[in-house]
Every structure is written in structure tokens, then in C-alpha cells.
Amino acid sequence: MATTYTALPIPPAALAELRRTDDAGRPCVPYAATADAAGSPLRCCLRGVQEGESIALVAYAPLRRWAAETGAAPGAYDEQGPVFIHAEECGGPDGDPKTYPFDRPGALRTLRRYDARGRIVGGRLMEIPEVPAEGFDRGFEEAFADPAVALVHVRAVEYGCFQFEVRRA
């Protein structure tokens, strides 16, 4: 029986904070999404931006927030980067939790592995295949076969942007 992996959005409590002040200490600045932003990944609900939506581009430090929950000390591996979120509270993901977001075949992703201390313990480059779930499942099975791996961050190769997180079940 295959393991099911769940793509995790930014948690609601973190979103509430980011909608005030982001992880770089800057205030959230909402704006209406233009056609140029359409399709950009929203990390609050794990879908693409739609033109006209009220969104914000904020700095997010996913490993720092995970470390605060778990007591990990990632040291220099703590990093922050830009992510799009809805400027106002949204309902979160409304898709099938057994699918992976932002899964355009041919897109390049890194699956970066972290241990319980928050240190990078490996990763892999993945080109999303025609059947995206098969590629992601294979990547996560490989990652979690190592008992040291506590979580995996999926990032876009082009910009290094955080896409979503998967934790050990």
C-alpha cells in the first residue's frame, strides 16, 4: 500500500501574522492581482492567483516557523523568501488533499530534505513528469526512506521559491 503525502499550506496562525508583518519585518501591502500575476502560486490555499484578487507578496521563513514549533535550531539553514498570499483570510485549500499543487509537467522542482534539527540532509532535483503525482510520490518516498528526514520543502528551481511542505507522517 502506497503512503499518501499531503502538501501543507502556510498555517492559518502564520498567515494572520504575515498579513500584518512579514518574516522580514515589513508591513503587508495588499494589491489587486493583475493579469501578469494570474497563475502565480498562492501558498495560503495552494492554487494559482486569479486576476483581480486581493493578494500580497510577503517574505516567509518556513523553516524558522517549523523550528519554533518543534524546538529545532536550523542555524544558517534558516532562510526567507517571497511568497504570494491572499491579503485577507481565505478558506485555505479547497482541492483534493491527495494531489500536489503547482504541478505543471516539465517544471523543475527541488525536494529539499531537513532533519529534526532543521539541517539540510539532502535533496533532489525533479522534473515534474506527465503524471505529476507519480513523480512527487517517488521523491517523497525516497526522502522519507531516510529515517533522519523530518520534512521536505518543495521549491521552484527558477526562483528558488518555496512551494509547499510535506512532513513525516
Q: What is the pLDDT of residue 3?
A: 60
Q: What is the pLDDT of residue 2?
A: 53
The rounded distance, in Å, linking the Cα atoms of 101 and 84 is 14
Q: What is the pLDDT of residue 19?
A: 98
The rounded distance, in Å, linking the Cα atoms of 165 and 150 is 11
Mean pLDDT by 10 residues, the chain (169 residues): 79 97 98 95 96 97 96 94 96 83 96 97 96 95 97 93 93
Give Cα separations from 120 to 31, 39, 88, 104 (angstroms): 35, 30, 33, 26
Q: What is the pLDDT of residue 160?
A: 85
Q: What is the pLDDT of residue 99?
A: 85
